[in-house]
Amino acid sequence: MGFQCDAESKRKRYFNEFCPLTLLDLDTMTILRVALDVPLDTLFDYHDGGHSVEVGQRVLVPFGRRRLAGIVLEKTDHSQFPQDRIKPVLEVFQSEPPLSQEILQILRFAASYYHAPIGQAIVSALPAPLRAPRPAPHERRLGYRLTATGRAAGVEALPRQAVLQRKLWLALAQAEALEASALAAISAGWRAAVKPLLAKQWVESVVLDTAEAFAPSQPTPGPVLNPEQQQAVDAVAACLGRFQVALLHGITGSGKTEVYMRLLQTALRESPAQVLVLVPEINLTPQLEHRFHSRFPHERMVSLHSQMNDGERLRNWRLAESGRARIVIGTRLAVFTPMPHLKLIVVDEEHDASYKQQDGMRYSARDIAILRAKQAGIPILLGSATPSLESWHNARCGRYMLLTLGSRAIATARLPEIHTIPAAAGLLRDGFSPLLLEALRQRLARGEQSLLFINRRGYAPVLLCSSCAWTAPCTRCSAHLVVHLRDKRLCCHHCGHEQRIPLQCPRCGNPDLRPTGQGTQRVEATLARLFPQARILRVDRDSTRRKGAMAGMMSDVHGGHVDILVGTQMLAKGHDFPNLTLVGVLDTDSALFSADFRAAERLFAQLMQVAGRAGRAEKPGQVLIQTAFPDHVLFHALKRHDFTEFAASQLEERRMAGLPPYCFQAVLRAEAARLAPVQEFLQEAVQLAHTIAGRVTVYDPVRPTLQRLKGLERAQLLVQAESRKALQKFLDQWMNEVRTLPSAGKVRWSLDVDPLEI
């Protein structure tokens, strides 16, 4: 009895240290179950400590020697742990509204379906300031406006070559003030352009006190819809207020974005109302923002993507959470943004692999968006010129509503002619066929633009010894080092390792080391030599690293300051170049015979997208594809712009082989500094799988194509089932047991449900 009294006394003293002003009644306190950003698939119990706490509230809690911010997911009056072991929360961030039940339900489902730790799934979906163990900074909205001096000077006082400064002046002249997001919609390079205006005191920064955006008053009118566009708009508009998945299959240049904007216009007529627009890549966000801003100048619009700083992202997230932002445009993570008045979701380029998260919780933003639309009882529109075969299959089976745009939005525009050019080594000059070089000369003579597409950056993919055939390897990855000749460096595009180009072969001493193959830098150098009068612009990850570089480059293209574009897949989709009439594709063959069953689907989509950059206005377009396999069935369908034929053949192959969408898969991956613990872990996981009953197939562990990455040896095993339910039932039991394996602590492992790469 005395021992119990001592324990009770110590317990109350312990809690009074945390809450010295109040003697807490431990028997009546509420237990909070909190999600924390730790790699453990569980919630953690804490006392409320006398605070008033709601589910979804952000709290500060002790965790070992650390203090962590977490989200309260449950409130209860009991715990499986003794009360003297349960600590109280240290602080409740009362000034922050709790996460909505809608978002919590989606995140809990995602964590369960993708078998991710619940705390990491929830906390990682928040903006960075909300993950920190401190109160998030309060919103302080900065804006810019013209001074009296700036208005008096006029736009003509600015140099004609200062195109972006002139654009900013004109935009500011039409508004009382513009905030940063509105200027970013004009150009991602606005910060550099506004600095000279600030220095001359033509522009000044101001703190905006109201929640409304200051913007130009007159919206830009949209074009008249063609019958197919109008039919698509009417079909989706009729579904507002109820759940429906619609797949908009529109050829490149068919006006899918105009369909999106008309649907936004319809959905936003209701008040309150919000719309979420997802795009696959950051580079597409500014131009889409610009088009939407010009059409909806009075609507609060925000963007959410990884190139924003933490403060900007938090502010935009809060505007969406409060319902003040009516249009949200974002990349993958934006799918988890709280939006209390959501009426419509649009997923542009729904087939794009960028919607699949490749680390942490490996979720598909497209699939989560469909789940969110179902939960909210609203329509979702998936748009693509080359839909994923899973979505196409669902549309053909009647699960999705199929809408088609079969002609280009501009009546005089025609689909480009696509031709294949035999690319045997003896027929090429510096990597170019004579036919492609002649086509480039013709465009230069006519003042038209050309695009050369090669999805490989750097100067050359391999450095080869002409004597012993040595190739420069990466010491950390199972890959060759790529030659970057201007920097005189060899770089690994997987792990970032760099080293100087050697003067002689390290194996035989031969000084004749040759860059072999083509990359964007080599293509650019070759074109500069062959066409010295041409203005050439290279667009790849290397040339667009600086913030705002991509926007500046696109401005040069639209301004007619570029004759030949050389680029990677960054240029393949979403861009509209009216004067571009020729697309040349330099290398596609490596993807034709890949071991990955999705390679053909990705290649067809990529080529259709890049081909769609040509002839989007009145001038006819032409696409020339260099290949050693001109008679391949993929090219036959591509020449006819026949996605339906290609999809039918691919789906039949997958049906016969028992591959998605006719089955469901998960991949267990593991990596470590040595291969032995990886093999041990995966073998034990296989043995565990055989003890679990279920209609699943578990394959033996194999090495992936890239066997070593960033100094770690890798291996994986595939699990496959005929139904999603059977796969999930198996994974639920299997993952619980895999986590307890002694070998699991010796490796870094992850589970990928519905993988895009195997």
Facing residues of 539 across strands? 567
417-460+517-653 folds as Rossmann fold (3.40.50)
| Residue 28: per-residue pLDDT | 60
Q: How far apart are CA 354 and CA 728, in angstroms?
A: 24
Residue matched to tokens 């209860």: 76
CATH class of 2-130: alpha beta
Q: Are 622 and 584 in contact (CB under 8 A)?
A: no
Q: In which band, very low, low, confident or very high, does the pLDDT at 208 lie, cut at 50, 70 and 90?
A: low
| Helix, strand or coil, per DSSP, at residue 608 | helix
8-state DSSP, 541: T
Q: Are 744 and 703 in contact (CB under 8 A)?
A: no
Q: How many other C-beta atoms are found inside a 10 Å radius of the C-beta of residue 18?
A: 15
Q: Compute the mean pLDDT over every residue in the chain, rounded to the nearest whole number.
A: 89
Q: Are 603 and 634 in contact (CB under 8 A)?
A: yes
Q: Cα dist. 613→421, 637, 683 in Å?
A: 19, 18, 48
8-state DSSP, 532: T
Residue matched to tokens 């993929």: 634
Residue 45, phi then psi, degrees to nearest 5: -90, 130
Residue 150 tokens, joined:
């700036």
Q: Cα dist. 517→120, 482, 510, 701 in Å?
A: 43, 10, 20, 33
Q: How far apart are CA 550 and CA 540, in angstroms?
A: 9
Instruction: Examine the pLDDT at 25 and tell me if it is beyond 90.
Output: no
To the nearest whole percent, how much of the chain has pLDDT over 90? 65
Residue 335: name the closest of 371, 306, 310, 307 by CA.
Answer: 371
| Helix, strand or coil, per DSSP, at residue 581 | strand
| Residue 182: per-residue pLDDT | 78
Q: In which band, very low, low, confident or very high, does the pLDDT at 297 lie, cut at 50, 70 and 90?
A: confident
Residue ranges covered by each domain of the chain = 2-130, 141-208, 227-405, 417-460+517-653, 664-753
How many H helices and E strands in the chain? 21, 31
**Highest-scoring range by mean pLDDT, 7-21, 132-146, 279-293, 320-334:** 320-334
Instruction: Examine the pLDDT at 612 and tell me if it is beyond 80.
Output: yes
Q: How far apart are CA 228 and CA 342, in angstroms?
A: 26
302 residue type, one letter? V
Q: Cα dist. 735→112, 117, 216, 536 in Å?
A: 11, 11, 55, 53
227-405 folds as Rossmann fold (3.40.50)
**What average pLDDT does the segment 236-242 reach?**
97
Q: Are 516 and 462 in contact (CB under 8 A)?
A: yes
Q: Cα dist. 301→168, 333, 507, 509 in Å?
A: 18, 17, 59, 61
Instruction: Examine the pLDDT at 201 and tell me if it is beyond 70.
Output: yes
User: How distant is the alpha carbon of residue 647 from its chain centre?
Assistant: 24
| Residue 175: per-residue pLDDT | 76
> Terminus-to-terminus CA distance in the chain, angstroms?
62
Q: How far apart are CA 316 and CA 325, in angstroms?
A: 8
| Residue 3: per-residue pLDDT | 34
Q: In which band, very low, low, confident or very high, does the pLDDT at 559 lie, cut at 50, 70 and 90?
A: confident
Is 664-753 assigned to CATH 3.30.70.600? yes
Q: How far apart are CA 688 and CA 204, in angstroms?
A: 66
Residue matched to tokens 């290949």: 627
| Residue 552: per-residue pLDDT | 81
Q: How far apart are CA 200 and CA 26, in angstroms?
A: 65
Residue 626: name the closest of 386, 428, 449 by CA.
Answer: 428
Q: Cα dist. 18→4, 22, 25, 437 in Å?
A: 22, 10, 13, 76
Q: How far apart are CA 189 and CA 193, in angstroms?
A: 7
Instruction: Examine the pLDDT at 171 and tell me if it is beyond 70.
Output: yes
pLDDT in tens, 253-284: 889 999 999 999 999 998 899 999 999 988 77
**What average pLDDT does the segment 431-449 reach?**
94
| Helix, strand or coil, per DSSP, at residue 605 | helix
Residue 253: name the closest of 576, 572, 645, 641 by CA.
Answer: 576
Instruction: Examine the pLDDT at 45 and tell me if it is beyond 80.
Output: yes
Orientation of helix 643-657 relative to helix 599-611, angle to 10°: 170
Q: Are 449 and 536 in contact (CB under 8 A)?
A: no
Give the residue with greater pLDDT, 652 vs 4: 652
Q: For 499-591, where are the alpha helices, taking DSSP H only? A: 520-530, 549-558
| Helix, strand or coil, per DSSP, at residue 141 | strand
| Residue 82: per-residue pLDDT | 86
Residue matched to tokens 């689909």: 415
pTM of the model: 0.85
315 residue type, one letter? R
**What average pLDDT does the segment 373-391 reach?**
97
Q: Do domains 227-405 and 417-460+517-653 have the same CATH topology?
A: yes
458 residue type, one letter? G
Give the CA-trace dihedral at 229, 231, 234, 235, to 10 degrees. -110
Q: In which band, very low, low, confident or very high, does the pLDDT at 213 lie, cut at 50, 70 and 90?
A: very low
Give the residue with greater pLDDT, 481 vs 152: 481
Instruction: Examine the pLDDT at 547 and tell me if it is beyond 90.
Output: no
Residue 574: name the closest of 542, 545, 610 by CA.
Answer: 610
pLDDT in tens, 49-97: 888 899 999 999 999 999 999 999 999 988 888 888 899 999 999 888 9
- Three-state SS string over 117-146 comes to CHHHHHHHCCCHHHCCCCCCCCCCEEEEEE
Q: Are 378 and 344 in contact (CB under 8 A)?
A: yes
